[in-house]
Structure 1
């Protein structure tokens, strides 16, 4: 969270004992490490789970929207309304309600970190009277912000395994219950996030979960931090799921809302390993740790909003569409990566790193691309936080033959700190720009991603509802990128099993609302029907919202499930 030693020490041990350890060294050159990519094995929709940040935004639209839209920011953890926290000696900033308009413009949800109402870290406990009064003030401030729609969780405390003052405040389990009930007395709907420990510790987590289960105060989203070593992520996630099951607790959504140490966060090769493990592990969101200054999305851009080397890794991630597909590294400590397949454009996008020397990416399941493919390899360096990188480096572009759906690509001269992108597409070419956007790839607020055989790319968004409050209204934000400013025909794939026409609101780039009507179809989850409308977009990135309910929109009628939008 901040430049402190103790949390890093905690993150290096899974026991209650404190063990001093050095940060892990980046891997040395290895002979022939291999990353296997199975394009025929999709495992989840692309949702850019790890494209998030702790204190990622500062007031006055910093960094610029133009640097955030391409990386498809999933979500953020921002300080409480009326923030007092002074991280790393900076003035308080990043108030969750003040940055909400910008977060909304780029399609990002927000967790509100409640203890950041205090100025110091570790937090200085005053009294229960003081804390509960602050909780009341924070929740009422959010409830009064009636145009804020993107708050997706209350984070009740941060790193209680070393910041909670047991001597003054009592046991954290009792403090959690008391705080949970205080929030729920005012806000019965916004998800609650916790316990947000500095590290995953089974014994600590078991005590917490047991108490929360028995008091009816289980968090909706389980959270902890992975601040040092990506190789432990898979084991931590597996252990948590085992613990959850053993306690009879229904599966919780998981967020890792701080990841990567100071020595790693600006190293794209290392970040690739973190992202790969979060995707494979099924986490819902993951946020880059905050070690330095506000307004740079945790070092992804320089102080004047120019991209760093690490930004390009997230840009490649943001370009992913369709489904994430299986990747298998040789080991958990070296070469690793993540990959997606966009079936509408037939593009395989692989991002990898964390290894030096000559290594190999083996791809299988490429049959849909044909026998001849264009293979493009790019790289981006570890430039640090202050050095801009105008563009990634194109290492090579070749035409290769696919045999039995297989292709092996040798990557010579890899640098462990750099990240690499491998694009594989039909040699005959792909559309000049993405035209189809799957609903399940979009920013989904208070609706559900579901699957159906008849849906485009196998997924859709359903249970889109509203009840007249921005805390529960459902909407889907599509971040789209078009080549020219002009009118586009927008075709919407949908299903409507109500037997009557349903409606939703349509707005883009914060503009005026119009209404989209969806005639009845054969049934729920049965796709093939479309409706069309016209949208006038600017060149570059735009945000298109389809909503059952939203500020300044009276609300839709009936129900409609969204499969995709297509711009032509």
Structure 2
């Protein structure tokens, strides 16, 4: 299958050839034409996971330490994880100079709340990768790992991706079978870095038999990846759920503990700049509960794969789809489309603000969004409908369009919203709040919605919004520090009171470090509480924030901080 580093014409042509071949073979069936009359049902009373914006990542999203230039544009998206080229990258995609070195851009990713996966074979200049020898490759592996170990300030590296699209880029004739090469490379990385997760196999498309064979071999050699990865690039987002289910069945059959899933390339060339189509991908990736997913790379470094225009780095129409996604808080709630190939959407509910957000698209004409479970919002709700067009990667769009603002009476906890004149290529948002409620900036930020590193999101009925972050346990180095980054947005530059909801079951005071916007550290002390997972206690600090976006870190360990003592769980922060 084609890949991100083919030229524009070759990439599109190869993608079409692959898709056509699959259609002719019967592996795929053609996607039905768009037609009006679709229905999307949203059940606000049925949350299924915390908001973590799993699909808000990009392959080669960042070019260098200062590109894209405006951190705030990316902070608004609250990206999850990017896949970036190896330290010392030589890859020149689409004839561009080599760029995007994961360690060079690590600070920029960190300032926007994003983690990074390092794609190791991008140390080679050619694509498909031109194999030299095992001595050459293992020497490069050692060099890359040494560079990462020396980067003591880069705390946001989430994994090593050992190879890319080995189902067609691995030179079996010269290097031997991929499964053997995987094990050899895995062990070379682990000899130097026993901590950082390893990601793979990263095939260009999901293949059940190939996945089973790979995992069987990896289990036998003790080299099963920590994060399972493949790509979704053949214009069939409706297959994502079946791929995930099939993988989970293989995993269980082989007796493997469940692994996070990364789809670190999604969207074909003809789709990637079409907000309506991409809303369908995000919907299905969220429902499948993947851990992370990246917009595929087709054109140039540094534009977040078309969310920003080239050179001017202004928002495109697709940017606003991801901005709506970035603004979600609380829990993702269940959405049910009437067809997997047409109208689809994803939705969230923030109980603290009583705010429901629904993002949808991929259908034309008049369609319906039914929203139930709205009783907590009262007898009537305000519904604001917005849209963003499909105007491509080179056209700046300063803001989404507000289509209408209406009041709906809630009947049996439900409303039905008719959306006329939809364009299948555009994306739409319904923002639902109690009628008459004052509009204010977000004050509370749930820990489980934030960027979590070397800690764990957990659930508790006693926690705000039902979730919290625990096991914030580690002090050590840039690979092991445990911390949580909150990206907060405030209206004015001034001092704010920061309240931290927490639990501390140690029986003694515990401490963590607090820093914001890369500034100096202060120590937060958490008196003991009734027990773990039992919330209600708060401590307060004063923070001076700038107008707009700020990154607030609470850490057990972090560069520049001597380390916290004891243990504390984080429920939320509140900025007042």
Q: 1:262 aligns with which of 251, 261, 269?
A: 269
Q: Secondary structure, in 3 states, of the residue corresponding to 2:511?
A: strand
CA distance in 2, matches of 1:338, 1:538: 31
Equivalences for residues 363-382 of structure 1 within 5 A: 363-382=371-390
Whether 1:155 aligns to 2:161 is: yes
Whether 1:471 aligns to 2:471 is: no
CA distance in 2, matches of 1:99, 1:23: 40
Q: Secondary structure, in 3 states, of the residue corresponding to 1:498?
A: coil
How far residue 19 of structure 1 moved from its aligned partner, in angstroms, is: 5.8
1:341-388 CA distances to partner (integer Å, 9 max, x unpaired)? 011110100000000010000010000000111011000001111100
- The 1:8/1:227 distance shift into structure 2, 3 A limit, reads farther
Whether 1:299 aligns to 2:321 is: no
Q: 1:72 aligns with which of 61, 70, 78?
A: 78
Equivalences for residues 377-392 of structure 1 within 5 A: 377-392=385-400
Equivalences for residues 34-113 of structure 1 within 5 A: 34-63=39-68, 64-113=70-119
Q: 1:125 touches 1:165 (CA, 8 Å); kept in 2?
A: yes
Q: Secondary structure, in 3 states, of the residue corresponding to 1:98?
A: coil
Equivalences for residues 431-450 of structure 1 within 5 A: 431-450=439-458
- The 1:529/1:330 distance shift into structure 2, 3 A limit, reads same
Whether 1:168 aligns to 2:174 is: yes
How far residue 204 of structure 1 moved from its aligned partner, in angstroms, is: 0.7
- The 1:354/1:127 distance shift into structure 2, 3 A limit, reads same
Q: 2:475 touches 2:482 (CA, 8 Å); kept in 1?
A: no
Equivalences for residues 224-303 of structure 1 within 5 A: 224-228=230-234, 229-303=236-310
How far residue 57 of structure 1 moved from its aligned partner, in angstroms, is: 0.2
- The 1:470/1:11 distance shift into structure 2, 3 A limit, reads farther
CA distance in 1, matches of 2:479, 2:16: 35
1:98-126 CA distances to partner (integer Å, 9 max, x unpaired)? 00010011110000000000001100000
Q: Secondary structure, in 3 states, of the residue corresponding to 1:314?
A: helix
| Unpaired stretches in structure 2, ≥5 consecutive residues | none
- The 1:275/1:21 distance shift into structure 2, 3 A limit, reads same
Q: 2:65 touches 2:107 (CA, 8 Å); kept in 1?
A: no
CA distance in 2, matches of 1:154, 1:33: 42
Who is 2:5 aligned against? 2
Q: 1:9 touches 1:21 (CA, 8 Å); kept in 2?
A: no
CA distance in 2, matches of 1:135, 1:6: 30
Q: 2:81 touches 2:292 (CA, 8 Å); kept in 1?
A: yes
Q: TM-score, normalised by structure 2?
A: 0.96
Q: 2:499 touches 2:573 (CA, 8 Å); kept in 1?
A: yes
Q: TM-score, normalised by structure 1?
A: 0.97
Who is 2:522 aligned against? 514
Who is 1:321 aligned against? 329
| Unpaired stretches in structure 1, ≥5 consecutive residues | none
How far residue 465 of structure 1 moved from its aligned partner, in angstroms, is: 1.6
Equivalences for residues 131-210 of structure 1 within 5 A: 131-210=137-216
Equivalences for residues 345-360 of structure 1 within 5 A: 345-360=353-368
Q: 1:332 aligns with which of 316, 326, 340?
A: 340
Who is 1:30 aligned against? 35
How far residue 60 of structure 1 moved from its aligned partner, in angstroms, is: 3.7
Q: 2:127 aligns with which of 101, 117, 121?
A: 121
How far residue 467 of structure 1 moved from its aligned partner, in angstroms, is: 3.0
Q: Secondary structure, in 3 states, of the residue corresponding to 1:269?
A: helix
CA distance in 2, matches of 1:196, 1:278: 16
Q: 2:513 touches 2:556 (CA, 8 Å); kept in 1?
A: yes
RMSD of aligned alpha carbons: 1.6
How far residue 305 of structure 1 moved from its aligned partner, in angstroms, is: 1.4
Q: 1:10 touches 1:199 (CA, 8 Å); kept in 2?
A: no
How far residue 466 of structure 1 moved from its aligned partner, in angstroms, is: 1.8
Moved over 6 A (4+): 11-15, 20-25
How far residue 409 of structure 1 moved from its aligned partner, in angstroms, is: 0.3
